[in-house]
Amino acid sequence: MKEVQPIRDSVKLNEVRSILRSQNERDFMLFEMGINTGLRITDLLSLRVGDVRDRDFYILREKKTKKTKDIYIGHLQEDIAAYTEGMGDDVPLFPSRKGDAAISRQQAHKILAAAGHKAALEDIGCHSLRKTYGYHFYKKTKDVALLQDLFNHAAPSVTLRYIGINTDIRRKAMIDFGRI
């Protein structure tokens, strides 16, 4: 499987937002929840409307690690309220066309990869959401230790590699080095 990248450029980030919002509110909300919470796609797709409606924090038990963590969603409440209006609390937050189940991971990948392609971004997929959150969190806070804790990584070096900071540093060094 090809490694995906975070969306580093805020202009491209907003372009993907616009593309997804224009095609489907569900797809837009999937993107917003992913880039603003850092949740893995399996955890996002397991959410129900009642899990996130009218809450500042959601307590999640991660599917992969089985660890419990608080997820701040207060900053998304306006979008969540508009998106979930008329939806029952037991409904999947990201329902398939059938409505009784959430979209699949494969469908989520198709949605995100297609939006990335339209925005002229390569290597965009489900994991790009989590990586984008991490990348922008680090760029804003420079707190790799906290991000490492949030992501449950074993070492800061793992976190920096995961969010693509090492790639940025290597590229900048090569550009700055120039020509011999």
Q: Is 109 a catalytic residue?
A: no
Q: Is 172 a catalytic residue?
A: no
Q: Is 75 a catalytic residue?
A: no
Other CB atoms within 10 Å distance of the CB of residue 18: 14
Distance (Å, rounded) from C-alpha 138 to C-alpha 143?
6
Q: At which residue do the structure tokens 């999937």 appear?
A: 30
Catalytic annotation, pick one of 133, 135, 138, 162: 162
Query: For the stretch 40-73, what's the b/e string if a residue is b when 16 or more beta carbons lie within 10 angstroms of its beta carbon?
Result: bbebbbbbbbebbbebeebebebeeeeeebebeb
Catalytic annotation, pick one of 2, 64, 66, 179: 64
Q: Is 153 a catalytic residue?
A: yes
Catalytic annotation, pick one of 127, 131, 133, 135: 127
Distance (Å, rounded) from C-alpha 136 to C-alpha 130?
10
Catalytic annotation, pick one of 8, 26, 40, 53: 40
Catalytic annotation, pick one of 8, 109, 130, 131: 130
Positions marked catalytic: 40, 64, 127, 130, 153, 162
